[in-house]
Amino acid sequence: MPDPITEQNRRSWNAVVPAHISHRADEAAFLRNGGSTLFPEEIALLGEIRGCRLLHLLCNTGADSLSLAARGAVVTGVDLSDAAIAYARALSAASGIPATFAQADVYEYLAAARADGYRFERIYAGYGVICWLRDLRAFAAGVAGLLAPGGRFVLIEFHPASNMFTADWRLAYDYPRGGNRLELPGVGDYVGAAAGGLSPSGFLPGVREFTNPEPCTLYRWGIGEVVTALAQAELRLRELHEYCYVNGERPFERMTPAPGRRMLPPPDVPAIPLMYGLAVEKDGDDE
């Protein structure tokens, strides 16, 4: 039986996808003409991907997946949202960049893909992934089970320390830990709020003042818990970086735009980590 929280989260994502894509000008032409939605951080952590089988977990509407495919990877994208996957498949066809997209709960996909014997040289997840995971240890074990020997899992994520602050930079909340649930009115239109930071193909006003009719539930985890889950899945830490800026989004007021769609804190706010990135690798032979 489907997890009821996951099913409600699926409905919340389905509701917001039309608002998100309404702010992006002709993504298909952008990708077809050599554009990329990727940032330098994930490119560096993934390393050379040409010819690699690459699994993109929680891939959303697929532009990042197709940008990875354009770099030579054989890409499979997986997302919970029916609306996101439908758009990703259409974007693949319209851009001429081949990729496979599957709609599934991430835990169900990881288990089914392993049972079917799938293996990947790279697995990637990025930007707002960890907060949707109800069980870190099961996720890490699922990732480890699909990595080929020597394969690498890369995560780029918003730093949990940034979740301790209000939008106007006041320290107000406990550090995330333990997978504690956070109930929200629904997934918001963060693409519109980013005012172009998440629309490299060109920003359109699109849907205005979006209100999601479907609530959602997030899970709050700390970095130590993420790294420990991966270590307990016998994945070896290769790199762990913390970044005092955000790529694309504007999660706080008065953020200062920088080149490359990077957003910095205002000058009167001390530098705090706003994102982190890690790469872990699988050693040894497959079971």
Residue 111: which residues within 8 A CB-CB, separation 6 or more?
142
Structure tokens at 255: 């953020």
Structure tokens at 188: 């918001």
pLDDT score of 125:
98
Mean pLDDT value of segment 56-66: 98
Task: Tell me the C-alpha distance between 139 and 130, whole Å.
Answer: 10
pLDDT score of 12:
98
The pLDDT tens digits of the residues spanning 164-192 come to 999 999 999 999 999 999 999 999 999 99
Mean pLDDT value of segment 254-281: 96
pLDDT score of 2:
77
The pLDDT tens digits of the residues spanning 134-161 come to 999 999 999 999 999 999 999 999 999 9
Mean pLDDT value of segment 72-94: 98
Residue 52: which residues within 8 A CB-CB, separation 6 or more?
72, 73, 74, 120, 121, 122
pLDDT score of 284:
72
Q: Is 168 exposed, middle or buried (0-12, 13-18, 19+ CB in 10 A)?
A: exposed
| Phi, psi dihedral angles at 179 (to 5 degrees) | 70, 20
pLDDT score of 285:
64
Strands (E), 80-179: 100-103, 120-126, 147-158
For residue 286, pLDDT over 60 is answered with: no
Q: Is 33 exposed, middle or buried (0-12, 13-18, 19+ CB in 10 A)?
A: exposed
Q: Is 209 exposed, middle or buried (0-12, 13-18, 19+ CB in 10 A)?
A: exposed
For residue 50, pLDDT over 90 is answered with: yes
The pLDDT tens digits of the residues spanning 24-39 come to 999 999 999 999 999 9
The full set of domains in the chain, from first to last, is: 4-282 (3.40.50.150)
The pLDDT tens digits of the residues spanning 188-209 come to 999 999 999 999 999 999 999 9
